[in-house]
Amino acid sequence: MKFLMLIFKNLRRNMVRSLLTSAGIMVLVFVITLIWSILGFLDMATSEKAANFKGIVTEKWSIPSQLPFSYAATLEDGAAREESDVKPMDSMTWQFFIGSVDKTNIGFSTFIFAFCMEPKKLLTMMDELDSLQPGPRATLDTAIKAMEGNRQGIIVGQKRLAAIEKKVGDKIKVFGINYRDIELECEIVGTFPPGRYDNNTCINRDYLNASLDAFKAAKGRPHPLAEKTLNLVWVKVPTKDAFSKMSNQIDSSPMFAAPPVKIETASSGVSNFLAAYKDLLMILRYLLAPAIIITLTVVISNAISISVRERRKEMAVLKVIGFQPNQIILLVLGEAILLGVVAGAISSIGTYYFVNRVIGGIPFQIAFFSSFPVLDGALWWGAAIGFITSFAGSILPALSTRSIKVVDVFSKVA
Amino acid sequence: MTEKPIVRVSHVSRYFKRGSERVNVLNDLDLNVPEGQFLALMGPSGSGKTTLLNLIAGLDTPSEGEIWVGDRCVSTMNESQLARWRNEHVGFVFQFYHLLPVLSAYENVELPLLLLPLSAKKRREQAMTALELVGLEDRNSHLPSQLSGGQQQRVGIARAIVTDPTLIVADEPTGDLDAKSAHEILDLLGTLQRSLNKTILMVTHDLRAARRADRIQHLDKGRLVDQPDESLYEAG
C-alpha cells in the first residue's frame, strides 16, 4: 500500500501516454467483450444441460419442418403408449406466422414474426421468460391471462411495437405472408420484457387454427398449409436418460409415419442451425479474440518498455537508497496492472451497461438470433483481461530493471 | 568527534575485465575514516575516487580486500543485504540531485522511509524534521521542478539524512551549483557533521569545496597519495 502512491504518481508522469494506453485497452476490451458475449451466448444455447432437457421434435427429412397439427397432442405426450413410458414434464407447440400489418407495404416497419402457441407456456417453456424477476413476471402474466381470455390478444416485443408505431390496447390486422390469405385481427394486450424477445410477437395458437378452419369454411377447401402448420414441438424431460427413452418412444411410434419426425436436444437443434456460421464463429473464437489479446499485450508492453527505458536512472536511484530489485519489478508491474485493470474494468462494465441498458443488445444477426446481450461475466472480464495482458506485457520490461546497475547513478551524465 | 574509525578499507583492489585485458582501478588501498569526520576525496579523472566511494557505500564489491563500515563487513554482503544496509546506514547526495520528478519535496524525502517498518505518522515526523534541518519545511509540497538547483540539492540532503544514517556519501554535491548555492550546501554538510556527528565522504574536483572538509585524501592511479599535484585540480 505504501508504494501505491508511487505507482499512481508514475502513471501521472506522462498523462498523454497513460491516457492513450488506457484508450487502447478500452477499445480492445470493448471489442473482445462483444465477441465473447456473442460466443458465450451461443455456447450456452448449444451446450447440453445437465437436467431439464428440452427436446425439439421436427420433421425428419425436410427443412423447414412442417408437420400436421394432429401430431401435437401425441407429441406433447411424448408418444407415450404404455404406463411405463416417459412423459414430458412440460411441452409446447410452435407454429410460425410471418405477416405484415400493411398488406401492400411489407418492410421493417410493418413486419411481424410471430410464434403461435399456448399463452401459458410463455412462462414455463420460453428461455429467459421462465426465470423472470417477480415484477416483470407479474406484468407478463397479466398479458398472458388477457390472451387466454381473448384469443385474438397478442403480445408484442417492445422494439417491434415501436417499429409498427402501435401501443398496448391498439388493434391491428396482420396479413399472412407464409399463410397467404390468412388475416388475423389482433388486439395488443401486452409486451415482452426488454431483451431477447424485443422483435417477436406471440399469438394464441387457437386463433391461428380457428382462422385456418374459417378459411376452409369460407373457401370450401383447406388452406394449402392446413396440414403443415405445426413447425416444431418442445418437450421438457428431467434427465438425459428420460430424453433417450422418449426419443425411442417417438422414433418407434407408428403415429408419425408420414411425415416422419425426429427428436433432438434443443442445444443440438441450435447447433444444426449454427452449422452454416461455423467458419465465422471459428474466426471469431480462434483468430480474432486471440489476436486482440495479443495486440493488447503488445500495446501495454510497448508503453511500459518506453516508461522503463526513460526511468533507468531513477530506478538506479531507488536501488541506491535501498529498494530491492524485486520491489522495483513490483513497482513496474503495479503500474501496468493498475492501468490494465482499471481501463479494462471501465471498458467492460461500461460496455455491459451501455449495450444491455441503452441499445438493448449487440445487433448481430446470426441464424435466428438478431441481438445478443452482454453476458454478466463481462463485469469482471475487463479487469481479468486487463490484469492478464498487463502482467504478460510488462513482465519482460519489469525484469529488465534487474540489469540496472546501482553504480550507474554516479555516472556523470545527467 | 572521536578517532574511532567508522570506515575501514583494508587492502582493497578493484579491477575490471575489458576483453582479455585487466584494468586496475584501485590497487591495494587502505583507508580509515574516523566517526564524525568530514573527508574529501580528490583526484584526477580516472583516479578511482568514485569507484572507492561506490565500494564504501555498498554499491559495488571489491575484487580483493575488505571494507568495514561500523561493525559490518560490506564487502561480503549480497545484493539484497547491501540494499537493506544502504537504506538504513548510508545517505547519498548526488551531483545531479536525482530527485523523482513526480514526487513532492516531502515525498522524495519520505521515500527511503517507505522501506522501513514505520507508521505513516512516524514517517511524516522524520521527513519533516529532515526538511526542517535543511531549511525547506515550507517547500515540502513543491515538486523538484518548482525548486532551484540549490533547493533541490537540499532536498537531496534531507533524503540522505532522513533515516539517520551512519555515513553520508556525496558525489560532487556542488558540481552542478553556482558558487553561492555551493557555499550554502557545503555549510549545510558542515553543520550536519558537527551537530549530528555524521561521517561524510565527499568526492570533489573542487579544491575550495574540499578545503571545507576535516581531511583531504588524494587518489592517483588507484592509490592514495600524500603529495598531490594541485595543478590537476581546478580552483573552483
Predicted confidence (pLDDT) at residue B151 exceeds the cutoff of 80? yes
Output DSSP code: residue A49. P
Q: What percent of chain B has pLDDT over 70?
A: 94
A323–B115 CB contact, under 8 Å: yes
- pLDDT at B228 (0 to 100): 60
How far apart CA A248 and CA A257 sit, in angstroms, is 14
How far apart CA A321 and CA A318 sit, in angstroms, is 5
Band of the pLDDT at B227, cuts 50, 70, 90? low
Cβ contacts (< 8 Å) between A323 and chain B: which residues? Answer: 83, 87, 115
- Name the closest residue on chain A to residue B84, using Cα atoms: A322
- Name the closest residue on chain A to residue B159, using Cα atoms: A321
Comparing A406 with B166, the larger pLDDT belongs to B166
Pick the range with the lowest mean pLDDT from A259-268, A342-351, A369-378: A259-268
> A298 to chain B, minimum CA–CA distance in Å?
26
Residues contacting residue A357 through CB under 8 Å, at least 6 positions apart: none
How far apart CA A385 and CA A293 sit, in angstroms, is 8
The answer to whether B32 and B206 are in contact (CB under 8 A) is no
- Name the closest residue on chain A to residue B161, using Cα atoms: A321
Cβ contacts (< 8 Å) between B88 and chain A: which residues? Answer: 322
**Tens digits of residue pLDDT in A122-154:** 888 887 778 878 888 888 889 889 888 888 899
- pLDDT at B230 (0 to 100): 59
Q: Give the fold, CATH level 3, of B36-61+78-227.
A: Rossmann fold (3.40.50)
- Name the closest residue on chain A to residue B118, using Cα atoms: A2
Comparing A269 with A236, the larger pLDDT belongs to A236
> A46 to chain B, minimum CA–CA distance in Å?
53
> B52 to chain A, minimum CA–CA distance in Å?
11
Would you state the cell numbers that stand for residue A295, as one nine-digit string? 495486440
- pLDDT at B79 (0 to 100): 87
ipTM of the complex: 0.89
Predicted confidence (pLDDT) at residue B129 exceeds the cutoff of 50? yes
Q: Which of B53, B87, B100 sits opposite A322 (nearest CB)?
A: B87
- pLDDT at A413 (0 to 100): 36
Is B96 near chain A, with CB under 8 Å?
Answer: yes
Mean pLDDT for B17-41 is: 91
Q: What is the mean pLDDT of chain B?
A: 89
pTM value is: 0.70
A-B C-beta contacts closer than 8 Å: 68
Mean pLDDT for A389-410 is: 88
Mean pLDDT for B142-147 is: 95
Q: Which of B80, B98, B114 sits opposite A324 (nearest CB)?
A: B80
Between the alpha carbon of residue B186 and those of residues A46, B135, B197, B204, the distances in Å are 79, 14, 15, 12
- The candidate with the shortest Cα–Cα distance to B141, out of B150, B129, B131, B156, is B131
- pLDDT at A410 (0 to 100): 62
Cβ contacts (< 8 Å) between A410 and chain B: which residues? Answer: 50, 53-54, 59, 94, 171
How far apart CA A177 and CA A183 sit, in angstroms, is 9
Q: What is the mean pLDDT of chain A?
A: 86
The answer to whether A400 and A410 are in contact (CB under 8 A) is no
Cβ contacts (< 8 Å) between A322 and chain B: which residues? Answer: 83-84, 86-88, 112, 115
- pLDDT at A298 (0 to 100): 94
- pLDDT at B7 (0 to 100): 94
Residues 128-167 of B with CB under 8 A from A: 159
Q: Which of B83, B94, B101 sits opposite A324 (nearest CB)?
A: B83
Query: What are the backbone angles phi and psi of residue A126, rounded to the nearest 5°?
Result: -90, 130
Predicted confidence (pLDDT) at residue A253 exceeds the cutoff of 70? yes
Cβ contacts (< 8 Å) between B204 and chain A: which residues? Answer: none
Q: Which of B60, B79, B112 sits opposite A321 (nearest CB)?
A: B112
- pLDDT at A409 (0 to 100): 63
Band of the pLDDT at B232, cuts 50, 70, 90? low
- pLDDT at A19 (0 to 100): 93
For the stretch B227-236, contacts whose Cβ atoms lie closer than 8 Å and that sit 24 or more positions apart, written own/partner, are B228/B42, B228/B43, B232/B43, B232/B44, B233/B42, B233/B44, B233/B205, B233/B206, B233/B207, B234/B205, B234/B206, B234/B207, B235/B207, B235/B208, B236/B205, B236/B206, B236/B207, B236/B208, B236/B209
Residues contacting residue A49 through CB under 8 Å, at least 6 positions apart: A267
Predicted confidence (pLDDT) at residue A267 exceeds the cutoff of 80? no
A317–B98 CB contact, under 8 Å: yes
- pLDDT at A349 (0 to 100): 95
- pLDDT at A90 (0 to 100): 87
> A158 to chain B, minimum CA–CA distance in Å?
54
Mean pLDDT for A36-49 is: 80
- pLDDT at A233 (0 to 100): 86
Residues 295-354 of A with CB under 8 A from B: 313-314, 317-325, 327
**Tens digits of residue pLDDT in A349-374:** 999 999 988 887 888 777 667 678 89
Is A9 near chain B, with CB under 8 Å?
Answer: yes
B86–A321 CB contact, under 8 Å: yes
- pLDDT at B236 (0 to 100): 39
Q: What percent of chain A has pLDDT over 90?
A: 29
Most confident among A89-98, A273-282, A333-342 (mean pLDDT): A333-342
Comparing A369 with B82, the larger pLDDT belongs to B82
Mean pLDDT for B183-212 is: 90
The answer to whether B191 and B225 are in contact (CB under 8 A) is no
Band of the pLDDT at B160, cuts 50, 70, 90? very high
- Domain spans of chain B, in order of start: 36-61+78-227
B94–A410 CB contact, under 8 Å: yes
Cβ contacts (< 8 Å) between A6 and chain B: which residues? Answer: 103, 111, 114
Band of the pLDDT at A411, cuts 50, 70, 90? low
- Domain spans of chain A, in order of start: 4-46+277-410, 62-259
- pLDDT at A51 (0 to 100): 56
Preferred mutation among B115, B177, B201 to probe A, highest tally of A CBs within 10 A? B115
- pLDDT at A414 (0 to 100): 31
Band of the pLDDT at A46, cuts 50, 70, 90? confident
